[in-house]
Structures are given as C-alpha cells and as structure tokens.
Structure 1
C-alpha cells in the first residue's frame, strides 16, 4: 500500500507512515511469510517469535489491538485478521517497547493509566512523560 499523494481527504485527522500492512482489503499480506529484519524490524536475538503489537480496523470502523509474546509477523497478522481487521499494521516489537495503555480521568482529576496486560514492561505512565520514542495516541472526538 502506498500513499497516492495529495491531501488525505475529509475526515482524516492524521496519517502514520509504517511498514507494509499486515492486512489490507481484508487479506493477510503475503509478505508476512518473510521474517526479514529489513522488512519487519530488528528483534532481540534475531528471533522470529517475539513480543509484538499491532492495530487494525474492522469494516464497521471499530479498532482491534493485539499485543503478546512469542508472535511471528505471520501470527500477528492472522490474529488481527481473525479478529475481523480489514486493515492492520504492526506497531512495536520486542518486550521493552510493546505496550497498550488506556487512561481515564475526570475534568479536574489526573489521568489514571491502565495497561492492557500486567506482562508489559513499560511503566504505566510511559505516555505521560517526555520521550525520544514515537507513539500513537487515539482519542475520542
């Protein structure tokens, strides 16, 4: 999938450059069978099955998030597809970087972070601190 150029169009608030899509038009990409670090990123110990995270959208617009240990690129793609994703991409890889954290707060109270799993090594307030690493934030309108 490549960017056709021009403005993203009405209703698009942001665009994120990433790797080859794991799932595109409802199909798992054939490229997921190539475990190359040049394609999918360098893993600790050059292992194929590592902590990986990914996000996808279903046909109804809902979001699918997958995060877990011992996942190959192909397994991550298949899980996202099986969960109904028609478009999906890999996010972070390796245990130190994979995380999914939600926040709740009132209008005058501080944000309260909650990790998706207790197995994540990142601090729960990771995204509330300055960082040299990029991240994706999703907020309701």
Structure 2
C-alpha cells in the first residue's frame, strides 16, 4: 500500500482485470457467483453483456478504453492486455451504462458525440449533475 501522499488518484471498483501485466486469474473463474460478485451481470443474470474497461500502458503515456456488446470478463481482460494495458479495470456493464462521448465546443454550446452508434441514450448526461459517478479526460496544452 502506498502512503497517502504518493497516491495521485484512487477509485473504488472491483478487482483489477490486469495488474502488473498479468491477467487476474479470477477473470476466468467458473464460479458464476464469484464472477457476478466481482464484475456484475445483467438483471437476469447473464454475464455476456455490454462491458467497458480502461487500461494504462507500461510507460503511462497511453490510456486505453475498450467497450462493446457481448463481452465476457475474460474477453475484456484479454483485449485490454493484448492492446498494451499493463494495468486495467472494468468500468461499466449493461447497454445503458457503457457510454463514452467526445465533446465538441461549438459556437454557443457543447455537443456530445457518442463513440459508437449504440451509445445513443442521453449522450449529454455528463453536462449536468448526475446521480452516478463519471470521469473525463482532457488534453493539456504544453505550449503555454
């Protein structure tokens, strides 16, 4: 455990999918109760659903986001590791909650553009107070 002043950020979530370039062996558990407890399922108990995850490259210069329908936890973990994430976690599951938008600043307003056409439900939800947590990433202008 790092001492508090070394921690730059912290987020409560389920177990890591990938940590130190190793896939968490629990991602492949055949114990459905354990899998659901750690990484969730649909309302009817299906573990194959929309899922999203985020990962960080070894040099910490690349942040990877993965999302799609019909994903299992092992598939999500394998994809994140394959693309280069050495540390990765699941973000959300189920169609409404797996959501990613880019934001454009137009002349007098902000416009949210979903990453995928299926992410059409309430794309501007992040412009207002919301009952769920979310995060955003911005670019840093180094030329100032």
TM bucket (normalised to shorter chain) is: 0.7 to 0.9
- The size of the alignment, in residue pairs, is 135
Q: Which runs of 5 or more residues in structure 2 are unaligned?
A: none
Does 2:14 match 1:15? Answer: no
Deviation sequence 1:85-131 (CA, Å, 0-9, x none): 0110000101111001111227x742221111001143220111221
TM-score by length of 2: 0.84
Q: CA RMSD in A?
A: 1.8
Larger radius of gyration: 2
Is the alpha carbon distance of 1:16 and 1:9 closer, same or farther for their aligned partners in structure 2, counting shifts above 3 Å?
same
Q: Which runs of 5+ in 1 are unaligned?
A: none
Q: Is the 8 A contact 2:41 2:47 kept in 1?
A: no
Q: Quote the residue 2:139 is aligned against.
A: 140
Q: In the TM superposition, what is the alpha-carbon distance from 1:70 to its structure 2 partner?
A: 0.4
**TM-score when scaled to structure 1?**
0.86
Provide the C-alpha distance between the structure 2 equivalents of 1:58 and 1:121, rounded to a whole number of angstroms: 29
Q: Does the Cα contact within 8 Å between 1:44 and 1:94 map onto a contact in 2?
A: no
State the partner residue of 1:113.
Answer: 112
Which runs of 4 or more aligned residues in structure 1 lie more than 4 Å from their structure 2 counterparts after TM superposition?
Answer: none
- Whether 2:99 is the aligned partner of 1:102: answer no
